[in-house]
C-alpha cells in the first residue's frame, strides 16, 4: 500500500519523489524537486497509490479527505454508514448520484466529488486502516 499526502501548505516544497493526485486534470504526478511531473501511464501497479490523503474544508472547517483509487466505493460507503451513521450530504448514493445533495453543515463525514471527507482525523485514520 502506498499512502501519499497532499499539500496542506503550498509554500512548503514536498520531498523529492512525493506523489499527488491532481484532481483538476485527474493525473498522478511526482515532485522532481522543481515541479510536478505527470507520471500517469508510466507507473507500475505496485507504485499506484491506493488511498490518497488530502485536506479540504467545508464551510470553513478543516476536513480530512481520502481519495480511494480503484476501490469498492459501494462497500466503503456502506461501511461508513454502519460506523458513522448517515452521510452529511443526505442524498449521497454511490450507485445513483443525486442532483440535490441536501448538505448538512459540519457533519461527521461526507461522500462527494470522488472523495470521502471526515471531520475527525480519527475517523480518517480508521477508514485508512480498514481499507488499506
Partner 1 sequence: MNYIEPIRRGNRIHHWRFEDGETCPNPGNAIELDPPPRGWYCWMYSKDDEGFRDWMAQCCPTAEVIHRFNSGDPMWTVYISDENEAMLFKLKWST
- Which of 38, 61, 69, 74 is in the footprint of partner 1 by CB under 8 A? 61
- Which of 18, 48, 103, 125 is in the footprint of partner 1 by CB under 8 A? 103
Q: Which residues contact 39 (CB under 8 A, 6 or more apart)?
A: 19, 27, 28, 29, 30
If one asks whether residue 89 binds partner 1 (CB under 8 A), the answer comes out as yes
Asked if residue 116 lies in contact with residue 110, where contact means CB atoms within 8 angstroms, the answer is: yes
Residue 60 grid coordinates: 470553513
> Which CB, 32 or 113, lies closer to partner 1?
113
Asked if residue 76 lies in contact with residue 67, where contact means CB atoms within 8 angstroms, the answer is: no
Provide the minimum distance between the beta carbon of 47 and partner 1 in the complex, in angstroms, as a whole number. 28
If one asks whether residue 84 binds partner 1 (CB under 8 A), the answer comes out as no
Helix (H) or strand (E) holding 83: helix 73-84
Residue 20 grid coordinates: 499527488
Size of the site for partner 1 (CB under 8 A): 21
If one asks whether residue 113 binds partner 1 (CB under 8 A), the answer comes out as yes
Residue 79 grid coordinates: 461501511
Binding site for partner 1 (CB under 8 A): 56-63, 89, 99-103, 105-106, 110, 112-113, 117, 119
Amino acid at each position: 500500500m502506498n499512502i501519499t499526502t497532499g499539500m496542506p501548505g503550498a509554500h512548503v516544497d514536498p520531498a523529492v519523489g512525493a506523489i499527488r493526485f491532481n484532481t483538476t486534470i485527474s493525473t498522478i504526478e511526482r515532485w522532481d524537486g522543481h515541479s510536478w511531473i505527470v507520471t500517469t501511464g508510466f507507473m507500475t501497479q505496485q507504485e499506484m497509490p491506493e488511498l490518497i490523503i488530502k485536506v479540504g474544508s467545508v464551510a470553513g472547517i478543516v476536513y480530512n479527505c481520502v481519495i480511494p483509487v480503484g476501490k469498492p466505493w459501494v462497500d466503503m460507503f456502506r461501511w461508513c454508514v454502519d460506523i458513522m451513521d448517515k452521510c452529511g450530504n443526505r442524498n449521497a448514493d454511490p450507485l445513483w448520484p443525486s442532483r440535490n445533495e441536501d448538505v448538512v453543515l459540519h457533519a461527521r463525514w461526507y461522500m462527494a466529488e470522488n472523495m470521502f471527507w471526515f471531520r475527525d482525523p480519527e475517523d480518517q485514520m480508521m477508514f485508512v486502516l480498514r481499507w488499506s
